[in-house]
Amino acid sequence: MNTHNSITVKKQILDMTIQYGDQLHGLWMHIFEPNTVNEFLHRLRDHVETFYMDLLTDSQEKQQTILGEIAVLRAEASSLTSLLHKSTDIYERSNNSPLVVQQMELNKSIEYLREELASRRAEICELLLQQDQLCEELDEVPHTLAEDPLPLPEEVDAFRGHLAQLRDQRVQRLKEIGQLRESIWADMKTLEVLPITASEVHLLCKDNQSPKLEVLTQLRDMQKEYARQVQELHDQIDTMRQKIELLWKRLPDTDAFNKQQVREAKDYTQSTYDVLLEELHRCQAIRSKNMRTYIEQLRSEIKIWWELTLKSPEERTLFTAYFTDSESEDILELHEMELDGLKDFYNSNQKIFELYAHRAELWSRMEALVAKANDPNRFNNRGGQLLKEEKDRKAISAKLPKIEQQITELVNVYVSQANTPFLVYGEDIHKSMAMEWEQLRQAKQQPPVGKTQLSRSVSKIFPPSEPLNLKLQKKETSSSIRKSPSIQRNGNSLTTLDRQNSCTVQSVNSQLKPPLHRDK
C-alpha cells in the first residue's frame, strides 16, 4: 500500500468517526436528557480510546515479536556463517523495508546455509563412520574431525586423504596377507606338512579377510619360520647330495637301484630328504665297514691338495692324524675336514696359485736362459738359436714383473682379510720371491760354474715338494743344463770366443735384474 492510499484510508476513518459520532449524539439527544448524553459521550470516548490503545498495544507487541524474530534470524545467520567459515556482512546491513518483509527475506536468505550446514554435518558424520570402520579393521588410531565448529575445507580434504591412505593400507594388507598365505602353503607342500593348531587353520583360511595388524604379523612370522625350514631343508639336501656323491666315488661298491632312486629325487621336498638320508646312512654304514680303505683314499686326495696348495713338509706334519695308524670315525672325520679345508683354501685363492704357477714356469725358463748364457760353447749353435734365446729373454723380462705385481696385489688383499701371511712351502710368498731374486743376483755375480754346482743352485730355488707340473718343467730345465758343456779356459788367457761369450753374459745379466717394485 502506497502513501496516498494510506492517507485516504486514514481520512475515511476520521470521516467515519465524525459521522458515527454525530449520529450517536443526535440520537442520544433525542432519547436522553443532556446529562445522560454527556455521560454516554464520555463512555464512547473511553471506548474509542481503549480500542485504539489495545490496538496500538497489539501492534507494538507484534512489532517487538517480529524484531525479536529478526534478531534471532540474524544470530542464526551469524552462527551459520561462522560454522561454515563464511562472511556475515550481508546479514548485518540496515533495511528500510517493513519488518515482516525483512524477516521473510532474511529467513529465505539463510535457508541455504541451514541446508549446507546439515549436509556438511552429515558428510562429517559419514567420514567419521568410515574412519571408525577402517581403524577397527586395521588396528589404527583414529584422527579427530570436529563437528562444532565445522572443520575448514582444507581440513576436510586432509581427512579425506587420510581415509584414502587407510583404504590403500587395507588393500595392501589384504594383498600381502594373500601372498603370505600362498607362500606358506607352498612351503608346507614342500615340507609335506599341514596346519596343526586351530590358530594356524584360522590364519591360513581364505575366508578370513581380516586385515588386522595382528593377523599380518602372525602370518609374517609363520612365513619366515616355514621359509627358514625350507631353506634349511634345501641346504641339508644339497649337503647330503654332495656327501653321497663323494661316498659313491670312494666306496668300493654302490647299489645301482639306490643310485637311480637318489638321482631321480630332484625336487627339494621332504620326500627327497628322506630318500637322501636313507642312502647317506647306508653309505656311511658301508664306509664304517671299509674304514681303512676310505682313510687311505682321503690321504691320497689330501696329498694331491697339499701339492696344489704348496704346503711344506713342516706344514703337512701339523696334521698328525695323517700319520697315525688308528682307524675310527673321529680320524675319518678329521681327514674329511682337512680335505675340505684344503679345497676351500685353494678355491678361495685359485687366482694366486695359478699366477704363482705361471711365474714358476717363467722363472724356470729364465734360469735355463741364464745357464745357457754361461755356456761358452753356445756360439757354436746354428739355426738362429741365439736370436730365439734373446726373444725369450725379453718376453720373460716383460711378463715376470707384471705377474709378480698381480700376485702382490692379490696377496695383500688376502693378508688384510685373513690377518696372516700367504705361505708357499712354509715361507711368506713375498719373502720367497725376493729371496729367489737375491739368489739369482748372487748367482750372476759368481764365475761360470759346472753342471753340478748349477744344479745345486736350481734345487735351492725349487723345493722338492713343488706341484708335479713344476717338477716336470724343472726336470726339463735340468736336462737342458746337463747337456750344456762346462766353460773351458786356457790358462789365464781368454780366446776370442771367450771374450764374446763374456760380453754376451754381461748383456743378459744386465737385463735380468729383479724388478724394483717387489716387496721385501
Domain identity same for 402 and 506: yes
Domain boundary among 225, 260, 284: 225
Residue 57 binned pLDDT confidence (cut-offs 50, 70, 90): very high
* Residue 445 included in any domain: yes
**Separation CA 467–CA 464 (nearest Å):** 9
370 vs 365: which has the higher pLDDT: 365
Q: Of 194, 225, 256, which residue sits at a domain end? A: 225
Whether 201 is covered by a domain: the verdict is yes
pLDDT at residue 260 tops 80: yes
Predicted pLDDT of residue 499: 36
**Residues contacting 498, CB < 8 A, separation 6+:** 376, 489
Query: What is the pTM assigned to this prediction?
Result: 0.50
pLDDT single digits (tens) 457-479:
333 333 433 443 333 334 333 43
The per-residue pLDDT for range 160-205, each reduced to its tens digit, is: 999 999 999 999 999 999 999 999 999 999 999 999 888 889 889 9
Most confident among 173-187, 281-295, 431-445 (mean pLDDT)? 173-187
Dig out the grid coordinates for 428 from the structure.
711368506
- Among the listed ranges 62-66, 351-355, 463-467, which one has the minimum average pLDDT value? 463-467
Pairwise CA distance, residues 120 & 63, whole Å: 35
Q: Are residues 235 and 355 in the same domain?
A: no
Number of domain units in the chain: 4
In a domain, 38, yes or no: yes
Average pLDDT over residues 93-117: 82
Query: Is residue 138 assigned to a domain?
Result: no
267 and 283 fall within a common domain: yes
- My answer on whether 235 and 328 are in the same domain is yes
Judge whether 134 lies within some domain: no
Does the pLDDT of residue 74 top 60, yes or no? yes
Same domain, 30 and 96: yes
For residue 82, which amino acid is it? S
Give the Å distances, CA to CA, from 503 to 366, 481, 484, 497.
18, 21, 19, 10
Percent of the chain with pLDDT over 90: 47
Q: Answer yes or no: is pLDDT of 381 > 90.
A: no
Residue 122 is assigned to a structural domain of this protein: no
Both 419 and 354 in a single domain?
yes
Which of 47-56, 371-380, 502-511 is most confident?
47-56
Residue-number span of the structural domain to which 93 is assigned: 3-114
Higher per-residue confidence, 49 vs 489: 49
Is 135 a member of any domain?
no
Please, which residues have CB within 8 angstroms of residue 245's CB and are 6 or more apart in sequence?
none
Q: Of 317, 347, 377, which closes a domain? A: 347
Burial class (CB in 10 A: 0-12, 13-18, 19+), 323: exposed
Contacts of 348 (CB under 8 A, 6+ apart): none
Tell the burial category of 517 from Cβ atoms under 10 Å away from its Cβ (0-12, 13-18, 19+).
exposed
309 and 163 within one domain: no
Judgement on whether residues 377 and 500 belong to the same structural domain of the protein: yes
pLDDT exceeds 60 at position 247: yes
How does 133-145 read in b/e, with b if 16+ C-beta sit within 10 Å? ebeebbebeeeeb
Q: Any bridge partners for residue 493, and if so which? A: 490
Residue 96: what pLDDT?
76
Indicate if 204 and 218 belong to the same structural domain: yes
- CA-CA distance, 360 to 474, in Å (whole number)? 9
211 and 170 Cβ atoms separated by less than 8 Å? yes
Average pLDDT over residues 6-33: 92
pLDDT of 483 strictly over 50: no
Does 137 reside within a domain?
Answer: no
Q: To the nearest whole number, what is the mean pLDDT of the chain? A: 81
- 457 and 445 assigned to the same domain: yes
Q: Write down the pLDDT at residue 206.
A: 84
Residues 457 and 409 in one domain: yes
368 and 246 inside one domain: no
Amino acid 485: pLDDT: 32
